[in-house]
Amino acid sequence: MSERFFGATLTLSTGRIVPVRLIGEQHVKEDLGFIPSFADWVKCIRPEPWMGRALPLHLDLDPLAANAA
């Protein structure tokens, strides 16, 4: 996400080019002590009742499609 905002690299005043990804990874390591995997992140999500109430998107876009099936 930081690459979206800042680009792939930053150029320091000394002329050194630094990858933004490395800066972001260092920040996460300093805050959390490690870089969490997707599995680590998913394990921490608590499902809420509203999360299971979504309808298929095609029903919102074309209500007649439900009758054709």
17 within some domain: yes
Q: Establish if 23 belongs to a structural domain.
A: yes
CA contacts within 13 A on the Cβ side of 58:
6
pLDDT for position 67 = 63
In a domain, 5, yes or no: yes
pLDDT of 9 > 60? The answer is: yes
Domain for residue 57, yes or no? no
The whole domain housing 4 covers: 1-47
The verdict on residue 62 lying in a domain is: no
pTM: 0.57
CA distance 39 to 41: 5
Query: How many distinct structural domains can be found in the chain?
Result: 1
| Amino acid at site 26 | Q
Q: What is the pLDDT of residue 69?
A: 52
Asked if the structure places residue 60 within a domain, the reply is: no
The mean pLDDT value of the chain amounts to 87
Tell me if 58 is assigned to some domain: no
CA distance linking residue 47 with residue 50, whole number of Å: 8
Say if residue 68's pLDDT is above 60.
no
Instruction: Give the pLDDT mean for 31-44.
Output: 93
